[in-house]
Structure 1
Amino acid sequence: MKNLNFGLAIPAVALVIVLLFVSSLFPVQSQAMAGGAMTFVTHWFGWLVQIASLALVCFLFWLAFSRYGDIKLGEEKPEYSNFTYGGMIFTAGVGASLIYWGIGEPMYYLQSPPLFADANSFQAAAWAVTYSIFHWGITGWSIYCFPAIPFAYAFYVKKQRTLKLSTLCESVVGTNPIVAKTIDLLAIFGTLAAFASSLSLTVTLLSTGVSELFGIDNGLWLQGGIILLFVAVLMCVMLVGFNKGISKVSDYTVVMAIAFALFVLFSSNAQFILNNFTDSIGVMLDSYFRMSLWTDPVQQSGFPQSWTQYYWFWYYAYLIMMGLFITRISRGRTIRQVILCTISMGSLGCTFFIAIFGGYAVWAQMLGGYPVQQWMSDGGLTFAVVSLIKTLHAKSLILGVFLIIQFFLMLTTMSSASVATAMLTTNRLELNGDPDNKVKLLWAGAIAMISFSVFLAGGGINTIKSLCVVAGLPMMFIYAILVKHLLIELGVVKGKQSDHNAVPLEKTVTD
């Protein structure tokens, strides 16, 4: 453990644990404070996050198709095939939340629709899957993708052996130790909090499904057992190694998920789902900029704040995990390949699953006679998701397969989070970017411990989710710092380049 930066690891974990402990002692007050902070952030800075995120999309496409897009990140050939590379990015970014929200979001949008539509109207139905695809599409994956570029450039081109976020920010903000420590702690806190809430959500879904399938009491023992199972399987994956572990699990999980989605498509109402998908894509292409910048200042429905801005801040809180993980697997690729592959594979993958599961949910509620919204009202979204899956043929078998896929989707995300936080807190990385197994396992255990403490804290999950959004605000400004840093490193604007083995641009561009 000599290579672990304890000065970053211990304070970050302690901060999340303390917040959960306080929220368990004072659940009402802590949720009120966290909710108030989230409301303040979205209402005062929501407009800014929407403009900044759209600007980031434009910046990345400019970068990809400029001469800088030819810069190769490392001298070796790409380590993974395009399928494996795209699959690892996709599974790391979505986890088990995609199918959960792919079903849930359209139902919420039917009840409280955007852009002045009436609840449960045909107009609301047109927006339901459209907005889900939008929230899991190009903008979100652009936020995920961008930090990988300065990280990978520093690691593979400039040969820096440490990837602390503060190191990349030095060319813009200087070397103040307090500022540097704050930036690094924010990065780790955002990753831990965002991932802990995602894992807790998945564990809740799995425990509900297992309880329904086997008649087991859905309590703390079952939830704790699922978390321990995550840790045990993750340890095996880590010990096998990155290439034989995470990459293979990702490949098999993607294939299983695609096969399951196709089963749902052709065992339900495929005609409606395909037509609804086509219509949703048309609506989104027609309204992409409207959706990106809609703040609803007059009607004040709260939809952009509760959904679009919430998602964008959430993505910013997750930025370091995704940026570092994409860095780890991008050696040998050009900047253009990283940008286009990440955005396309992520967006198309999410569109595929949301179109099928969201489309089926809309059909079930609007035309199929299944009371999905009533299930949500009676038992929450988790119960509604499990109940909808049980409407398919061979319901017990299909529910079991669904739960297995959800488990492995979350496992790949957990692996990614462990690798990313290990990279961020490793004093000196090896050339392949892979941290020491002991450090990765330490972070896997820390993430599991934090996730279990969410259940022990009762209402702590809502507090953590709100704080993720609050943490996303400063990370948005750090994005701006990283953009300037990258432009300085590439020589686009004048500034002080880092002193780590500076490489002329012309020598990093492929022929």
Structure 2
Amino acid sequence: MNNLNFGLTIPAIMLVLLLLVVSSLYPDLSQAMAGNAMTFVTNWFGWLAQLASLALVFFLFWLAFSKYGAIRLGDDKPEYSNFSYGGMIFTAGVGASLIYWGIGEPMYNLQSPPLFADANSYTAAAWSVTYSMFHWGITGWAIYCFPAIPFSYAFYVQKKRTLKLSTLCEPVLGKNPIVAKCIDLVAIFGTLAAFASSLALTVTLLSEGVSQLFEIDNNLMLQGSIILLFVLVLFVVMLVGFNRGISKVSDYTVVAAICFALFVLFTSNAPFILNNVTDSFGVMLDSYFRMSLWTDPVQQSGFPQSWTQYYWFWYYAYLIMMGLFITRISRGRTIREVILYTIFMGSLGCAFFISIFGGYAVWAQLFGGYPVQDWMSEGGLTFAVVSLIQTLPAKNVILTVFLVIQFFLMLTTMSSASVATAMLTTNQLSLRGDPDNKVKLMWAGAIALISFSVFLCGGGIDTIKSLCVVAGLPMMFVYAILVKQLLMQLSNGQAQEGQSEELVEYQEFMP
């Protein structure tokens, strides 16, 4: 533990816990203040987030196919197979939230549709799955992907042994201890808060499923037991090691999730789902730029602010965790491979699951005779998701399989978050990029403690979610700094390589 940066670790954890305690003591006031802060951020800077995120997509594709795309991150061969590499990126980025929102978001889009469509109309149905795939698609994965490039270049090419975000920003900002501390704390806070709320959502879904499956009360004891189970299994995975632990769990989880999705496809209404996803892809390809830049300034429905901008700021708050985790598994890959695998494996994987689960939810609501929207209004989205899964054949067996898959999807994300935060707060990393096991286990316990505190503090989850969006704002500007820093480092590296080649040629012609 001597290698742990306590100056970053303790303040970040205490800040999240303090916010949770305050939000529980003053729930109405704290939620109102956090909500007002989020409204201010989206109203004043939401348009900028949409422009910047679209520009980032163009920048990454330019970088991938430029002369810099061939730069190899380290001298070794890739450590993981293409399937394992893509699977770990995918599971780290989506967790158990994908299926949850893959069902829930299309239903919300049906009720309150975008782009001036009428509620529950055919136009709303056309947008329902389309917008969900868009929010989990190329733009979001581009935001996740970018920080992995400067982190990987610094670690594997420049051989830097510390990966604090402030260190990467030094060539642009210079050395300022106060600014550096603020940047690192915001990065850790965004990771902890975003992941804690995601884990809390997953625990809520699992506890609801277990409650219905075994007909027991869905209470704090059940939720705490599920969090404890997460921690115990995660400890085992961490102790087994990265290659035999996280990598294997990710592989098996991806295969199981794909099989489950195919089961849903062929036991529900496959023709509708396949036709719907084809239509949704067409609508998205036709309207990608419209969706990317739609701010609705005249009608002011609030849809872009509540959904698109919320997602983008959420990704910005979560980006360092993803950037560091992708860095850990990208040794031996080229910059081009990192960009293309992350964006396409992530977005296509999300499209696959959303098209099936979201398509089934739309069919169930409009044609299947299942009142999904009524379930949402009566018992909340969690109740609606579990109830929809129980409409499938062998409902108890399928619900059990669904809950197990959700557990391991979130476990892989929890593993990724523990590794990333450990890397961010480690003073000197090993040559392989692995933090000490004690540091990873400490972060796993801290994340679990924060997540359990969400339930103890009652309504604190809404405040934390709002503050994640607020935390995403400064990270968006850090992105601009990282872009400039990366271009400086890449151009300097190319210049030094050119000078080395000229020196070799000169030496060869020396008498």
Counterpart of 1:471 in structure 2 is 471
Distance 1:75 1:215 in 2: 56
Q: Structure 1 residues 213 and 67, CA, compared in 2 at 3 Å: closer, same or farther?
A: same
* 2:331 counterpart SS class: coil
Contact kept in structure 2, 1:158 and 1:503, CA below 8 Å:
no
Counterpart of 2:504 in structure 1 is none
Task: Compute the displacement of 1:216 (Å).
Answer: 1.5
Return the letter of the residue paired with 1:300.
Q
Contact kept in structure 2, 1:104 and 1:385, CA below 8 Å:
yes
Task: Compute the displacement of 1:106 (Å).
Answer: 0.3
* 2:354 counterpart SS class: helix
Distance 1:219 1:341 in 2: 41
Number of corresponding residues: 501
List per-residue Cα deviations over 1:344-403 (Å, max 9, x = no partner). Answer: 100000000000000000000011110000000000000000000000000000000000
Q: Which residues of 2 match residues 57-96 of structure 1 at below 5 A?
A: 57-96=57-96
* 2:36 counterpart SS class: helix
Distance 1:82 1:240 in 2: 22
Contact kept in structure 2, 1:169 and 1:482, CA below 8 Å:
yes
Task: Compute the displacement of 1:215 (Å).
Answer: 1.1
List per-residue Cα deviations over 1:35-74 (Å, max 9, x = no partner). Answer: 0000000011000000000000000000000000000000
Return the letter of the residue paired with 2:171.
S
Q: Which residues of 2 match residues 341-380 of structure 1 at below 5 A?
A: 341-380=341-380
Distance 2:172 2:161 in 1: 20
Task: Compute the displacement of 1:504 (Å).
Answer: 3.0
Distance 1:142 1:51 in 2: 13
Counterpart of 1:409 in structure 2 is 409
Distance 2:497 2:411 in 1: 40
Task: Compute the displacement of 1:503 (Å).
Answer: 6.0
Return the letter of the residue paired with 2:282.
G
Counterpart of 1:305 in structure 2 is 305
Counterpart of 1:453 in structure 2 is 453
Counterpart of 1:276 in structure 2 is 276
* 2:274 counterpart SS class: helix
Q: Which residues of 2 match residues 362-441 of structure 1 at below 5 A?
A: 362-441=362-441
Counterpart of 1:190 in structure 2 is 190
Return the letter of the residue paired with 2:87.
G
Task: Compute the displacement of 1:138 (Å).
Answer: 0.1
Distance 2:168 2:216 in 1: 49
Distance 1:230 1:174 in 2: 41
Q: Structure 1 residues 218 and 6, CA, compared in 2 at 3 Å: closer, same or farther?
A: same
Return the letter of the residue paired with 2:105.
E
TM-score (ref. length: structure 2)? 0.97
List per-residue Cα deviations over 1:61-115 (Å, max 9, x = no partner). Answer: 0000000000000000000000000000000000000000000000000000000
Q: Structure 1 residues 505 and 128, CA, compared in 2 at 3 Å: closer, same or farther?
A: farther
List per-residue Cα deviations over 1:167-219 (Å, max 9, x = no partner). Answer: 00001111000000000000000000000000000000000000000012100
Task: Compute the displacement of 1:505 (Å).
Answer: 6.9
Q: Does 1:504 align with 2:497?
A: yes
Q: Which residues of 2 match residues 179-328 of structure 1 at below 5 A?
A: 179-328=179-328
* 2:88 counterpart SS class: helix
Distance 2:489 2:498 in 1: 9
Task: Compute the displacement of 1:131 (Å).
Answer: 0.1
Distance 1:115 1:203 in 2: 34
Counterpart of 2:508 in structure 1 is none
Task: Compute the displacement of 1:244 (Å).
Answer: 0.2
Q: Which runs of 5+ in 2 are unaligned?
A: 502-511
Distance 1:35 1:367 in 2: 37
Distance 1:41 1:481 in 2: 20
Task: Compute the displacement of 1:491 (Å).
Answer: 1.1
Counterpart of 2:128 in structure 1 is 128
Distance 1:468 1:133 in 2: 22
Distance 1:487 1:28 in 2: 46
Task: Compute the displacement of 1:451 (Å).
Answer: 0.2
Contact kept in structure 2, 1:145 and 1:343, CA below 8 Å:
yes
* 2:403 counterpart SS class: helix
Distance 2:251 2:76 in 1: 22
List per-residue Cα deviations over 1:100-155 (Å, max 9, x = no partner). Answer: 00000000000000000000000000000000000000000000000000000000
How large is the Cα RMSD of the aligned pairs?
1.3
Counterpart of 2:509 in structure 1 is none
Q: Does 1:17 align with 2:17?
A: yes
* 1:4 counterpart SS class: coil
Distance 1:57 1:377 in 2: 37
Contact kept in structure 2, 1:190 and 1:471, CA below 8 Å:
yes
* 2:15 counterpart SS class: helix
Return the letter of the residue paired with 2:148.
A
List per-residue Cα deviations over 1:437-492 (Å, max 9, x = no partner). Answer: 00000000000000000001100000000000000000000000000000000118
Contact kept in structure 2, 1:145 and 1:342, CA below 8 Å:
yes
Question: Percent identity at matched positions?
Answer: 83
Return the letter of the residue paired with 1:469.
V
Distance 1:490 1:4 in 2: 30
Distance 1:133 1:393 in 2: 27
Q: Which runs of 5+ in 1 are unaligned?
A: none
Task: Compute the displacement of 1:507 (Å).
Answer: 8.1
Q: Structure 1 residues 81 and 505, CA, compared in 2 at 3 Å: closer, same or farther?
A: farther
Distance 1:337 1:504 in 2: 22
Counterpart of 1:335 in structure 2 is 335
Distance 1:106 1:19 in 2: 32
Distance 2:254 2:434 in 1: 23
Counterpart of 1:115 in structure 2 is 115
Contact kept in structure 2, 1:490 and 1:505, CA below 8 Å:
no
